[in-house]
Amino acid sequence: MNPVNAFNEYRQKMNDQILASNNKIIKRIFNLDTNAFTEGAVPARTKEMFGLACSMVLRCNDCVKYHLGKCYELGLSDEEINEVFALANLIGGTIVIPHLRRGTEYWENLKNNV
Amino acid sequence: MNPVNAFNEYRQKMNDQILASNNKIIKRIFNLDTNAFTEGAVPARTKEMFGLACSMVLRCNDCVKYHLGKCYELGLSDEEINEVFALANLIGGTIVIPHLRRGTEYWENLKNNV
Amino acid sequence: MNPVNAFNEYRQKMNDQILASNNKIIKRIFNLDTNAFTEGAVPARTKEMFGLACSMVLRCNDCVKYHLGKCYELGLSDEEINEVFALANLIGGTIVIPHLRRGTEYWENLKNNV
Amino acid sequence: MNPVNAFNEYRQKMNDQILASNNKIIKRIFNLDTNAFTEGAVPARTKEMFGLACSMVLRCNDCVKYHLGKCYELGLSDEEINEVFALANLIGGTIVIPHLRRGTEYWENLKNNV
Amino acid sequence: MNPVNAFNEYRQKMNDQILASNNKIIKRIFNLDTNAFTEGAVPARTKEMFGLACSMVLRCNDCVKYHLGKCYELGLSDEEINEVFALANLIGGTIVIPHLRRGTEYWENLKNNV
Amino acid sequence: MNPVNAFNEYRQKMNDQILASNNKIIKRIFNLDTNAFTEGAVPARTKEMFGLACSMVLRCNDCVKYHLGKCYELGLSDEEINEVFALANLIGGTIVIPHLRRGTEYWENLKNNV
């Protein structure tokens, strides 16, 4: 399976299992997560770039992949993605570089996932 | 090999190798780690839940697995584990969700590890 | 003003101001925060100890103060608090010690706040 | 002195002292910091919102203040700021709330700094 | 009181109070902390520089102050301190800059503390 | 392929791809990274030990591997590496232990990579 589909399938399978546990707090966190990234005073597109930048400085590969997937769906350009990557690596430091590598690889995967 | 045994074997093999290095400070840290989680004014069971919660907010998959293993041995229920997961995801934010996925999967592995 | 009242008043004043902004996501996060720490499969008392431990390893002085205040209200003993402090400093490392100092000071403030 | 001026003066004084040390690496980091936030494929305005979001999830009060100051200069609205605050508190969790309080207070300081 | 003495006195007062609590785990952590920074295969002087670098990237002002104090006692030069500062700001990113400001100020305090 | 070569090849391949994007900020960060670890008031050897210690407390496996590789090239002894590991685990806490396991394994890989 290609890396994008593998990521999305595992994510969906585990989300289903987590929500099946019926823990009210977790359900509400998942619900908030969906609502928070919708169009508002800040456009959804910009919010996904925030999500990407925050995921990078907090150094979470799965979160980087998820937001890259959303950025791809929303049509962000390579130049925009690279500027987000650059800012995140400047703010978060060289400790973020391994996530820049994985993020760059996954962005290519997304573009090749036809 | 099932994921629980694979985790435990790698952990044991590397711990043995680390302790063989005879670094006094590291030996004492390992020793403290064992002592700190024993029964006290706070029950061992509660301490393992702390270990799990702290591992989640600090986003360390191996630490989450280790404490889930101990929680399983000590007989914690699904409801208790889910409440710890919920609190950790609330305190630590949605950046913790990928660890919730891995933790949920490993908790299932523990229950199926017969 | 004593440090406990100063902390609580600033916290309340700013919470009021934040909620007055009418941002739906923030309101729901505050609401979840209240609900998550209520009695459940895990007792409220234990949850506050989790909150304290997580706040220490994440090194947030204001969060440590808040959860110490709740622990005090719920009647936790010095021994229990010290065991939470010890675990947090072991898990989080010596980088947590400055927060152990502030936490110890604030726990004394709470006991002297008559 | 009002809090905004106090923050800016301390920041400027220490930056001058740091740059006077003539450490080449530090000079270049400061230089990069200035360049990275200029207009590009991503607008400067959006970049400052990234800076704010990243500063919040990484829980750095001084960084939050700095980017709030830039956001204020660039004319961001209360609604935009609140949406950035909301996303950062969702991604970073309730551990970020103390920084939401300080950030909200400083945003008011900026608006009242006439 | 000058900032160096104020820092040291508060630190000593709280350490005494913490150790008086007689929590065995905490006592041993404090003890390890003293032992770990003594002369070994790595010189004590280098270890203090590690302590400083780690404190900066982990963004703990009190820890930065403590290790700067030790570095000052051990006779480190301005150039050495600036190179540690530079590396820490590169590895940890611009989010570390506020700690570079406080660290630079405190290093001056140490040199002027006659 | 052995783990050392696999790590180095992936790293090189992705670095080439990242630099090919021609983002000026990222190029300069990579350039700074090379310059910062050269001989200065602090020896290159000591700087690599800093890099290792910081990578451990910040819990980045790829960064730990990279700096272990450089430490190996520069001829650091097992005793020196173990003292860096010990300090990092003390400062960063037991949450760092999984990285101590991976680091110990990779150090063996480096020594066996003939």
pLDDT tens for E71-114 read 999 999 999 999 999 999 999 999 999 999 999 999 999 999 86
Average pLDDT, chain E: 96
The pLDDT of residue E51 is 97
In chain D, the percentage of residues whose pLDDT exceeds 90 is 96
Q: How far apart are CA B8 and CA B4, in angstroms?
A: 6
The pLDDT of residue C114 is 60
**pLDDT tens, chain B, 114 aa long:** 799 999 999 999 999 999 999 899 999 999 999 999 999 999 999 999 999 999 999 999 999 999 999 999 999 999 999 999 999 999 999 999 999 999 999 999 999 986
The pLDDT of residue B1 is 77
Q: Which residues of A touch C32 (CB under 8 A)?
A: 25, 28-29, 32
Cβ atoms < 10 Å from Cβ of E75: 8
Q: How far apart are CA E80 and CA E77, in angstroms?
A: 5
Q: How far apart are CA C40 and CA C43, in angstroms?
A: 6
Residue of B nearest to E28 (CA): B32
* D56 neighbors D103 (Cβ within 8 angstroms): yes
Residue of B nearest to C58 (CA): B58
In chain B, the percentage of residues whose pLDDT exceeds 70 is 99
The pTM assigned to this predicted structure is: 0.97
Tracing tokens 């991976």 back to the chain, one arrives at F102
The pLDDT of residue E114 is 60
pLDDT tens for A58-76 read 999 999 999 999 999 999 9
The pLDDT of residue B114 is 61
pLDDT tens for D73-103 read 999 999 999 999 999 999 999 999 999 999 9
* Predicted confidence band of residue C1 (pLDDT cuts 50, 70, 90): confident
Q: Once rounded to an integer, what is the mean pLDDT over residues F69-88? A: 98
Evaluate if residue A1 carries a pLDDT over 80.
no
Cβ <8 Å between B100 and A25: no
The pLDDT of residue A114 is 60
What is the C-alpha end-to-end distance of chain B, expressed in Å? 12
Which stretches of chain E sit within 8 Å of chain F by CB? 32-33, 36-37, 40-42, 46-47, 49-51, 53-55, 57-58, 77, 79-80, 82-84, 86-88, 90-92
Cβ <8 Å between B89 and A62: no
Candidates B56, B57, B90, B97: best to mutate against A (most CBs of A within 10 A) is B97
Evaluate if residue C98 carries a pLDDT over 90.
yes
Token reading at B39: 């029964």
List, as own/partner pairs, every contact residues D13-21 make where C-beta atoms lie below 8 angstroms and the sequence separation is at least 24, other chains included. D14/E101, D14/E104, D14/E105, D15/E101, D17/E104, D17/E105, D17/E108, D18/E100, D18/E101, D18/E104, D21/E78, D21/E82, D21/E104
Tracing tokens 């820049």 back to the chain, one arrives at A100
In chain C, the percentage of residues whose pLDDT exceeds 70 is 99
Q: Which of F90, F98, F104 sits opposite B17 (nearest CB)?
A: F104
In chain F, the percentage of residues whose pLDDT exceeds 70 is 99
Alpha carbon of C5: minimum distance to chain E alpha carbons (Å) = 21
* Predicted confidence band of residue A113 (pLDDT cuts 50, 70, 90): confident
Q: What is the interface pTM, i.e. ipTM, of the complex?
A: 0.95
* Predicted confidence band of residue F114 (pLDDT cuts 50, 70, 90): low
* Predicted confidence band of residue C113 (pLDDT cuts 50, 70, 90): confident
Residue of E nearest to D52 (CA): E95
Q: Which of A18, A23, A25 sits opposite B101 (nearest CB)?
A: A18
Token reading at F63: 């960064």
Q: What is the DSSP string of F34-101?
A: HHHTSSSSS-HHHHHHHHHHHHHHTT-HHHHHHHHHHHHHTT--HHHHHHHHHHHHHHH-GGGHHHHH
In chain C, the percentage of residues whose pLDDT exceeds 90 is 96
Q: Residue E46 corresponds to which amino acid?
A: T
Q: Residue D55 corresponds to which amino acid?
A: S
Q: Once rounded to an integer, what is the mean pLDDT over residues D16-36? A: 95
Tracing tokens 């080439």 back to the chain, one arrives at F16
Q: Once rounded to an integer, what is the mean pLDDT over residues D45-68? A: 98
Cβ <8 Å between C29 and A25: no
For chain A, list the contacting chains (3+ Cβ pairs, <8 Å).
Answer: B, C, D, E, F
Evaluate if residue D114 carries a pLDDT over 80.
no
Please tell me which residue, A114 or C34, carries the higher pLDDT value.
C34
Q: Once rounded to an integer, what is the mean pLDDT over residues C35-57? A: 97
Token reading at F41: 């008031």
Half-sphere exposure of E35 (CA within 13 A, CB side): 15
Alpha carbon of D2: minimum distance to chain B alpha carbons (Å) = 33
Token reading at E27: 């006592």
Q: Which of E14, E26, E58 sits opposite C95 (nearest CB)?
A: E58
pLDDT tens for E24-82 read 999 999 999 999 999 999 999 999 999 999 999 999 999 999 999 999 999 999 999 99
| Helices F78-92 and F97-112: angle between axes, nearest 10 degrees | 160
